[in-house]
Structure 1
């Protein structure tokens, strides 16, 4: 009974991470929709961080915005809903995944739900942040996109850590085998 309760609490914690990502995204978009007119620019940090409201009917950097409505809906709404549902099922059914991996997946799910909600409720995704780092400039994005990028980063870090641990284990096993062969 204790294990089941602990497992349930862990899943609830993961759902809270999803909800926080979704909530921050949606609150920020509500503020932007109410207070900025399309293409208005507000400088937050001189020439480096600018708020600019745009409505994106496509995916990342407007990819797919010129597709026919049916295809765009299928690719940018239906397919992602299925992938996000699978992601929730995956973290629920694979309880032994590393914590960093579970948290990364939750960031991806929270950000994904935020953008899909916009597509369904508003017909487009509200993007509003633009950064210029002198060496490179971002497109216009939102907090759901930030959640998705953080989720990807966490999954990459998890994979790098797992690969490093595997190499260390293999080196340790090889050393042990060599020591045993010498004795």
Structure 2
């Protein structure tokens, strides 16, 4: 089976996203003391090593093991597979949309992998701009998922504006 340039682009973004995420997490697990906090840029940008058993901002960490498996492993795998199938089939998607969806899929796979292998997701970055902007503790996969979502929203507004 010969892969098209489009398919190679999609797979490359997904693989690159997973690789960057997993490399960063391996480094954090090996080099950063669990539960610690170090300043990268003052108290505005800090490095941590936190294991998150839940999803976004720890939501779902209190669920029973069976519910957590269903909601944080099985359901995401099904959704990621559906979206992956969609982007391979829909030939009308722009390159920005493809990049966005591939980033979201790659980040999603990377976090699901962590949940499956380690039982939790390693988070390590935190931004606090003194009340102006503050994040939870996040990782590279989260960054790709969020960036992908922001680009998708921008692309959809651009489409509506042109129509």
TM-score, length-scaled by structure 2 = 0.96
Task: Name which of 124, 129, 146 aligns with 1:128.
Answer: 124
Distance in 2 between the 1:40 and 1:68 partners? 27
Distance in 2 between the 1:164 and 1:136 partners? 29
The C-alpha deviation readout for 1:37-90, integer Å capped at 9, x for no partner, is: 111111110111100110000000000000000011100000000111111111
Equivalent residues in 2 for 1:84-163 (5 A)? Answer: 84-134=80-130, 135-163=132-160
Secondary structure of the residue that 1:64 maps to in structure 2? coil
Give the number of the structure whose alpha-carbon radius of gyration is greater. 1
Runs ≥4 residues deviating over 6 A: none
Of residues 119-128 and 92-101 in structure 1, the stretch that sits farther from structure 2 once superposed is 92-101
Q: CA deviation at 1:136?
A: 2.8
Q: CA deviation at 1:133?
A: 1.1
Aligned length: 162
Structure 1 portions without partners, runs of 5+: 167-183
The C-alpha deviation readout for 1:96-155, integer Å capped at 9, x for no partner, is: 212211111001001001100000011100000011111232110001000000110110
TM-score, length-scaled by structure 1 = 0.85
Q: CA deviation at 1:34?
A: 0.3
More helix as a share of residues:
1
Of residues 109-118 and 90-99 in structure 1, the stretch that sits farther from structure 2 once superposed is 90-99
Secondary structure of the residue that 1:43 maps to in structure 2? strand
Secondary structure of the residue that 1:159 maps to in structure 2? helix
Distance in 2 between the 1:136 and 1:32 partners? 24
| 2:65 aligned partner | 69
Could you say which structure has the greater relative contact order, defined with CA pairs below 8 angstroms and 6 or more residues apart? 2
